[in-house]
Amino acid sequence: MANDVSLFKSGALPAYLKNIELDAVTKSLAGGGTQNKRISIRGNVFRMISGGKEIAQNEDRAMNVVIVNAAPKVSRSFYEGVYDPSAVAPPTCWSADGVAPDKAVENAQHKNCADCPQNIAGSGQGNSRACRFSRRLAVVLENDLEGDIFQLTLPSQSLFGKGENGKLPLNAYADFLSGFNVPITAVVTEMRFDTDSATPKLTFKAIRPLTEEEFNTCTEQAQTPAAKTAVIMTVSQTDGVKKLESKAPVAVVEEPAQDEEPKKRESKKDVPTPAPKKDLKSVLDEWDD
């Protein structure tokens, strides 16, 4: 299957096919719906999903991508009952902005997320919260920057925390880059599975800066409908879920995870004076060391 996928990468296609839209014939034969593409991390394997069907796997521990877009807020989703990977169902309650339940939710657990009983430590398995955090990204593959845009939904343990030994969760990774005034959209990012985690958890590391030409390509990708759609997925677009009337954006969490509430930022008076900025190449060389 991997060989079949390589046949249709942008670099292997004739120039006239690289940015062509699907025609009505293809859409009809494919089921008529939008063929959303995403990367699943279920079972600690990078799985390429298109139109709800798995089309390829990458069993390497790491994958290089460029992050071209991200949902503006951390989402929340609550699934009633015990997690069952074989039972695909929409969440009972969800919030696209992490502040209040979506208007389409029929069984809202509370009027706001902060005071919700499902947001209390111990409401989930062990000391976890029953309502889980997640965030949606739009990424392109390093070796196919002009190609498909994939949605990636990250669970809370891939988002929060400090990280160590160069293995950073997404928020800490973004903070690291911003400290050097480097946009996350301007570097090739390595996503790597944390093999010490019992459930799928990704850490992030900058591999190299993009060339100017590559950066321009990725900037254009970020403006495409696919990149914008990838971060506002709906319940009815979730793989295998019975179609709902709601078109409200929600996060899809594939695996249960220990949630860590985002910590309040330190006040400015407590923040140490930053060290002089270094160029990105020097930063990446030190990180590798």
Task: Give me the mean pLDDT over the 193-222 stretch.
Answer: 94
In this prediction, residue 61 carries a pLDDT of 93
Residue 158 resides in a domain: yes
pLDDT of residue 117: 92
Q: Is residue 282 part of a domain?
A: no
| Number of domains present in the structure of the chain | 1
Amino acid 89: pLDDT: 74
Helix (H, G, I), strand (E, B), or coil: what is residue 93? strand
Angle, CA of 226, 230 and 233, to the nearest 5°: 125
Residue 233, domain member (yes or no): yes
% of the chain with per-residue pLDDT over 70 = 66
Q: Which domain holds residue 83?
A: 39-257
> Which pLDDT value is given to residue 8?
59
Report if residue 50 sits inside a domain. Answer: yes
Is residue 25 a part of any domain in this protein? no
Q: Which residue has the higher pLDDT, 124 or 63?
A: 63
Quote the pLDDT of residue 29.
Answer: 59
The average confidence (pLDDT) of the chain is: 77
Whole-number pLDDT of residue 129:
87
CA 239 to chain centre: 15
Distances (CA, A) of 93 to 60, 96, 109, 257: 34, 10, 7, 17
Give 34's pLDDT tier (boundaries 50, 70, 90). very low
Q: Is residue 27 part of a domain?
A: no
pLDDT in tens, 229-280: 999 855 544 444 443 433 333 334 443 343 444 443 343 344 444 444 555 5
- Residue 48 carries which side chain, given as an amino acid letter? M
Q: Which residue has the higher pLDDT, 15 or 259?
A: 15
Quick check: is 14 in a domain? no
pLDDT at 259: 41
Stated pTM of the model: 0.71
Nearest Cα to Cα of residue 158 among 39, 249, 55, 54: 39
Q: Is residue 13 part of a domain?
A: no
* Long-range CB pairs of 227-231, under 8 A, 24+ apart, other chains included: 227/68, 227/69, 227/138, 227/149, 228/69, 228/138, 229/34, 229/36, 230/36, 230/38, 230/69, 230/136, 230/137, 230/138, 230/149, 230/150, 230/151, 231/69, 231/70, 231/71, 231/136, 231/137, 231/138, 231/151
